Amino acid sequence: MKKTYVALFVLVILVGSSVCASATTLNFLEVMTNPERTALLKSMIAEYEAMHPDIKINLISPPYEQSDQKATLMLNTMQPLDIIEVRDYTVKQFVNNKKLTDLTEYFADWSDAETLTGVADLAARTVNDTPYLVPQSIFIKALYVRKDILAAHGIDHTPETLEELVEISKKITNPAKNQYGFAWRGKSFEIKFSDLFGSSYVEDFRNAKHIYSEDETFFLDPGYKEGMELYATLFKEGAPKDAINWGFNEQINGFVSGTTPFLIQDPDAIPLIDKLLGPDKYEVVTLPVGPHGFTYIDYGFCGLGIPSYSKNKKEAWDFIQWMSSPEKNGYFNEHYGPLPVHTTTFTMNKHFQGRHYVAFNQEMNDPETFVFITYDLASEKWPGWAKIHETDLQSVLLGRMKLDDALQKWADYWEK
């Protein structure tokens, strides 16, 4: 009898060893790293591993400031990678370097591809109208409003046009009481706010491929100048003067304190504002439109791709499509902050049925009014552009440079 038990014990050990030996390890590099997000990813990875004991996922989490460089280095030197986070800023580069797998065949057999939102599908097909990634999170902007502050100034409605936004901001601004209208963005990609005004005043912009590129710019269009003049008026008569140096944190602080009851931001601002202010103290509405009945929305995204040289593409895809299901993607973004990528998530996930997400959903489902267009991130002129624009616009607002001169300089910069 003892021999039988010993034999069975040895058999169990051998079988267990065989299972462990046959387990496939997938190396997964994230780039949008922060402690809370990494912990969220690890918890979801653990759930997947529990359902797939033959799969182990090694999450690589470099510091955020170094993550894109880490991704480029690992891909270019063909270090072992099976899943990689791909951003709007990196997808073109990775494709040009032939480091991402064309996912067309995978998409063809993926039923959940049918429920991708329009902007998520655009994100997936950023390069050559070919899906090189499965989007995980979408970043678009809407208008955050402190209706209690507006009501205190006798205003019972939210602005529907950019011109009305400026007029209301001017009406409630009183520097002596530290009261202003708009939470201005002066630093760190202020172009995404100023271009909203300039571009929304150009009628031909609706059919543009990019917000601007070497092939097409709108800086010298009379409408663009009109929109930028309105934006300058908003700063001079409806925003704090020190906001010329404001970044994200200062914008949030101005909004939460009530100093600036209008804020334009992405959905990942919602969890922070809920925590600092309370979810019942503000509203989120669709972006105001320009004089031609539309406004442009620059969309950001992050998704999952498979390195072209991965030896575990089948296993990597299985994990990606699990993470990208309406249920799991909804859970991930509910706890992370951005928008999910499936239309069905907005009907099945109560979090995204909340009133703060209605405006974002409306924007994604009204392409005639809200025109989704990206920057030409693959251009050699893009990397240094944000700083040039920021410096010049500050000079214009401080009276050190004429707007016409800045617009001409920008047009010359982007000219081939």
Structural domain tally of the chain? 2
Report yes or no: 58 and 28 within 8 Å, Cβ to Cβ: yes
In a domain, 18, yes or no: no
Mean per-residue pLDDT over the chain, rounded:
93
CB count within 10 Å of CB 5 equals 9
**200 plus 232 within the same structural domain:** yes
CATH number of domain containing 317? 3.40.190.10
In a domain, 203, yes or no: yes
Model pLDDT, residue 1 = 44
Model pLDDT, residue 12 = 44
Rounded Cα–Cα distance for residues 209 and 415 (Å): 16
Rounded percentage of the chain residues whose pLDDT exceeds 70: 95
In a domain, 356, yes or no: no
pLDDT in tens, 352-392: 999 999 999 999 989 999 999 999 988 889 989 999 999 99
Residue 315: which pLDDT band, with cuts at 50, 70 and 90? very high
Rounded Cα–Cα distance for residues 68 and 94 (Å): 11
pLDDT in tens, 3-39: 444 444 444 444 444 444 578 999 999 999 999 999 9
**132 plus 154 within the same structural domain:** no
**Domain with 207 in it:** 142-298+368-414
Residue 153 has pLDDT above 50, yes or no: yes
pLDDT in tens, 87-116: 998 999 999 999 999 999 999 999 999 999
Rounded Cα–Cα distance for residues 351 and 64 (Å): 27
Mean pLDDT calculated for residue range 308-336: 97
**208 plus 226 within the same structural domain:** yes
Model pLDDT, residue 328 = 97
Model pLDDT, residue 19 = 45
Model pLDDT, residue 21 = 53
**131 plus 92 within the same structural domain:** yes
Model pLDDT, residue 11 = 44
Domain closes at, from 348, 382, 406: 348
Token couple for 47: 């759930």
Model pLDDT, residue 98 = 97
In a domain, 57, yes or no: yes
Q: What is the dihedral of CA 115, 42, 19, 320, to 10 degrees?
A: 20
**291 plus 306 within the same structural domain:** no
In a domain, 35, yes or no: yes
Rounded Cα–Cα distance for residues 201 and 294 (Å): 9
Q: How far, CA to CA in Å, does 227 sit from each of 121, 142, 195, 213, 405? A: 30, 18, 9, 19, 16
Model pLDDT, residue 306 = 98
pLDDT in tens, 271-291: 899 999 999 999 999 999 999
